[in-house]
Amino acid sequence: MTVLEVIQRSTDYLARKGVESARLQAELLLAHVLGRPRLQLYLEFERGLTGTELDRLRELVRRRAAREPLQYLLGTVNFCGLELAVTPAVLIPRPETECLAERAWTFLAGLGGGDAPPTALDFGTGSGCLAIALAVHCPGAQIVATDVSAAALEVARGNAARHGVEGRIQFRLGEGFAGLPLEARFDLIVANPPYIPSAEIARLQPEVRDHEPRVALDGGPDGLAVFRRLAAEGRAWLKPGGRLMTELGDGQAQSAAEVFDTAGWAGVTVENDWTNRPRMLIAERPAP
C-alpha cells in the first residue's frame, strides 16, 4: 500500500469516527511512523509501506479513532516554540496558555538587574510548560515548580532536561503550597489551574474527558476552587511588589476577579488572549 493510499484510507476511517481535521491527523500519524516531516509525505505519495510500518500506523489510527488525543499518540506538543513531551499523566498544553507564559516572562525579565535573581513559582506545573518557558526566556531566573502528581513531575523534569534548564528549576511534590519550604518567597506566582466546573466535565470532548487527568481539569462545583485557594494563600508566598498570574476559563473573568478583590489583593486586572477573550487574571500583593 502506498503513502497516498494509506492517507486516504486513514482519513476516511477517522472522519467516520467523528475525528476533526481527519486528513491532517492521518498525515501527522503517518509522518510520525515514518520519522519524517509531514510535508515530506507529499513527495513520497508512491512510496510503499512495509508491513511493520502499516501495523504501527493501523494501531495509532485505531487509537485516534477511539478519541485518544493526537498529542499523546505523537508523544510531543509544541508550546512557545518548545517541543515538550506529554503523556496521559499531564494536561496537554493549549495555545491560549502561551499568552500567560509570554505575559509572565515579560514581567519576570523586567525584574533583572537587582542583587538577587528573579524568582517564580509555577503552581501545578503538569508538563512543566510554564516553568520551562520562563526559564528559557529569563536566563537569570530561578523557578520552583510544584505538582501533586509524581508522574507529572517526572514528565516535567524530562522536559526541563530536554531544553537545558533543569539546573534552574526545582521540582517539588506536594498539594498546593504544601511542598514549599516555609521561608520561600517569590516575585511571581503563575498558574494554569483546573477551572472546569465538575458537572461540565461529562460534556467535554472525549479526548479531554476520557484521557486527560481529571485532577488538572476539575475546578470544583463552580470551577473556582483553586482560585479561592490562590487568593487566600498566595500572598504569603510573594515578595513585596510580587504578582500572581493565572489562566481563566471562559466566562470566569468577573467571578474570579471578585474572589481576589474580596481576599484583599491589589490591582486586580483581567487581560485578553490573542482571540480577545478574557483569559488571564493578574493580581498584586498589597502593600503591608
Asked if the model's pLDDT at residue 232 lies above 90, the reply is yes
pLDDT band at 288 (very low <50, low <70, confident <90, very high): confident
Bridge-based pairing state of the strands 186-191 and 238-247? parallel
Q: How many domains, the chain?
A: 2
User: Is 115 in the same domain as 216?
Assistant: yes
- Residue 154 pLDDT > 90: yes
Interhelix angle 22-34/51-65, nearest 10 degrees: 140
Is residue 15 in some structural domain?
A: yes
Side-chain-facing half-sphere of 199: CA atoms under 13 Å: 2
Q: How many CA atoms lie within 13 A of 26 on its CB side?
A: 23
> In Å, how far from its chain's centre is CA 213?
12
Beta bridge partners of 82: 79
pLDDT of residue 86: 98
- Beta strands (DSSP E) in 202-237 are none
The owner of cell 491532517 is: 24
User: What's the pLDDT band for 139 if we cut at 50, 70, 90?
Assistant: very high
Residues 123 and 34 in one domain: no
Q: Is this prediction's pTM over 0.85?
A: yes
Neighbour count for residue 125 (Cβ, 10 Å)? 31
> Are the CB atoms for 40 and 31 separated by under 8 Å?
yes
Q: Which of 152, 279, 281 has its CA nearest to residue 215?
A: 152
Domain containing 106 equals 89-284
pLDDT digit string, tens, across residues 239-268: 999 999 999 999 999 999 999 999 999 999
Q: Are 52 and 166 members of one domain?
A: no
- H helix and E strand count, the chain: 10, 9
CA dist 14 and 236 (Å) reads 50
Coil, strand or helix at 258: helix
Cβ-contact 146, 117 below 8 angstroms = no
188 and 223 co-located in one domain: yes
- For the ranges 61-70, 76-85, 108-117, 150-159, the lowest mean pLDDT is seen at 108-117
Summarised one tens digit per residue, pLDDT across range 173-230 is 999 899 899 999 999 999 999 999 999 999 999 999 999 999 999 999 999 999 999 9
Q: For position 21, which CATH number holds?
A: 1.10.8
Question: What would the mean pLDDT of 46-64 be, rounded to a whole number?
Answer: 97
Q: Are residues 243 and 279 in the same domain?
A: yes
CA angle 147, 153, 158 (to 5 degrees): 150
* C-alpha 242: how far from chain center: 23
Residue 9 sits in the same domain as residue 127: no
Mean pLDDT of the chain, nearest integer: 96
Residue 155 lies in a domain: yes
Q: Return the beta strands (E) in 87-213 as ranges.
A: 119-123, 142-147, 169-173, 186-191
Are 61 and 99 within one domain? no
* 130 pLDDT more than 80: yes
Q: How many residues does the chain have?
A: 288
Q: What sign does the CA torsion over 262, 247, 99, 21 have? A: negative
Q: Considering the domain boundaries, does residue 72 fall inside one?
A: no
Q: What is the pLDDT of residue 30?
A: 98
Interatomic CA distance for residues 154 and 167, integer angstroms: 15
pLDDT at residue 107 in the model: 96
